[in-house]
Amino acid sequence: MKQKKTFWVLPVCFLLMVALLTGSFFLLPKESFAENEKRPLSEPPVLSVSTLLDGSFMTQAQTYIADHFPLRETFVGLHAYWQQLLGQNGDSGIYRGKDGFLIARQGDIDLKKEEMNLRAVRQFADANGLAVTWMLVPCAGAMLEDKLPRVHMPYRDDAMLDLVNETCRDDTVLDVRDVFSAADAATLYYRTDHHLTSRGSLLLYEAYCREKALDAQNFSLTQTSDGFYGTAYSKSGLWLQKPDTLEIYAQPDGDYTVTITDGTAVKTSDSLYFKTHLQNLDQYPVFLDGNHGLVQIRNNRCHNGKRLLIFKDSFAHCFATFLAANYEEILMVDLRYHRAPLQDLLESTQPQELLVLYGAENFANAADLAFLSMQ
């Protein structure tokens, strides 16, 4: 008896799958934000004569379809794990390391650009009579060599930090490499994020207080939050990774006023912690509400007259929740977002010191510090 020919089964199944995915694309509701990837999803393309003629309509359409394709995050995860099986660890820009660490691969570093950034800050400080303290934080890959895969690209944090020591001899340079090496570095960095843990930021705070002869305050662990997934997780596509635990240390008798300014938008809070963010996968903005152009912290129980200006990236957020105990006022400026004249801010607040606190790689590659030359 002859077997029935079933050559038509695979093509039919394929066509049914295409039809199902296509129908799902048009029928399912569209999300505006990818929670795992921590980014907004693209808007529908705008059809007009100009967008058709310049080709932007097709580009927008392709991006929109890619962002809203059914089961997109599932396919992203499958691709990420397939890359791991093929031995292509780090192709996403994230290494899958030992003990659950996801560590960002370092991009190109331009030491000449870093030197220009150093000089731009120095000139600004000199022009405004500000004593400068430098505190650039090495990345996890530079400090956690034992957690990296055997084959990985080199990290140039030593060269970046050595350049700060050489160029800024007349300033206070707080090189934290020795401090971190003496501690358990694995507890200082999150496993799924590029930031320092709260313990790492507390270690920074204590080192800063020793250097500046400040009275380091005692902080107690008041809250922990499980389920924190950081930027390394979002970029990796390795969705089965276990989450981090985020810790909040606080003084129970603190009394602060936090003013956040983005352009003309201003909001205030009586807390250094914005705990609504603990409901999200990305919980790090619990510290000072994340990235903003200008954050002013006033310690209402401190009257020592100390006012500090901080040029920073997000490495400063958790750190500042500790340092607020020692200053009457802290002004945190993120030059990526702040475009108002700094002279007006300096005249109204009159800080005596400038702290430059960045991730070392972020500082070396920062394009926004050129804004200082226009002040």
pLDDT in tens, the chain (375 residues): 455 556 666 776 766 766 665 665 555 566 666 666 666 766 777 767 777 777 776 777 677 666 565 567 777 788 888 989 898 998 899 999 999 999 999 999 999 999 999 999 999 999 999 999 999 999 999 999 999 999 999 999 999 999 999 999 999 999 999 899 999 989 999 999 999 999 999 999 999 999 999 999 999 999 999 999 999 999 999 999 999 999 999 876 779 999 999 988 999 999 999 999 999 888 999 999 999 999 999 999 999 999 999 999 999 999 999 999 999 999 999 999 998 889 999 999 999 999 999 999 999 999 999 888 776
In a domain, 86, yes or no: no
Q: Cα dihedral sign for 325, 326, 328, 331? A: negative
User: Is residue 95 in some structural domain?
Assistant: no
Whether residues 6 and 143 share a domain: the answer is no
Regarding whether 157 and 28 lie in a shared domain, the answer is: no
Q: Are residues 16 and 141 in the same domain?
A: no
Residue 91 is assigned to a structural domain of this protein: no
Residues 298 and 337 in one domain: yes
Q: Are residues 145 and 223 in the same domain?
A: yes
pTM score, two decimals?
A: 0.86
- The answer to whether residues 262 and 114 belong to one domain is yes
Q: In this predicted structure, what is the pLDDT of residue 48?
A: 75
3-state DSSP call for residue 221?
strand
SS3 percent helix, strand, coil of the chain, rounded to 5, is: 40, 20, 40
Query: What are residue 132's DSSP bridge partners?
Result: 354
46 with 111, same domain? no
Residue 75 located in a structural domain: no
371 C-beta neighbours (distance < 10 Å), count = 16
CA-to-CA separations, 192 to 88, 96, 97, 177, 246, in angstroms, rounded: 19, 10, 11, 21, 11
Residue 79 resides in a domain: no
Question: Which of 69, 88, 115 marks a domain boundary?
Answer: 69
**In a shared domain, residues 199 and 310:** yes
CA 248 to each of CA 219, 235, 252, 285, 365: distance values in angstroms, whole numbers, following the listed order: 10, 25, 12, 12, 30
> Which of helix, strand or coil describes residue 247?
strand
**Residues 174 and 303 both lie in one domain:** yes
Same domain flag for 345 and 207: yes
For residues 312 and 334, give the distance between their C-alpha atoms in angstroms, rounded to a whole number: 5
Buried-state track 179-216, b at ≥16 Cβ within 10 A, e below 16: ebeeeebbebbbbbbbbbbbbbbbbbbbbbbeebebeb
> Which residues are CB-neighbours of 321 under 8 A, at least 6 positions away?
201, 249, 250, 272, 273, 287, 288
Instruction: Tell me if 92 is assigned to some domain.
Output: no
Length of the chain: 375
Tell me, yes or no, whether 40 and 115 share the same domain: no
Instruction: Measure the CA–CA gap between 194 and 175, rounded to whole angstroms.
Output: 19
Examine the fold and report which residue of 19, 53, 69 is the final residue of a domain before the chain moves on. 69
Would you state the pLDDT for residue 342?
93
Q: What is the pLDDT of residue 317?
A: 98
Half-sphere exposure of 75 (CA within 13 A, CB side): 8
State the CB neighbour count (10 A cutoff) for residue 115. Answer: 15
Which residues, listed in sequence order, are joined to residue 104 by a DSSP beta bridge?
94
Angle at 254 between CA 293 and CA 187, to 5 degrees: 70
The total domain count for the chain is 2
| Same-domain status, 61 and 116 | no
pLDDT at res. 1: 46
Domain boundary, last residue among 51, 69, 87:
69
Q: Which domain holds residue 56?
A: 1-69
**Is 160 inside any structural domain?**
yes
Does some domain include residue 290? yes
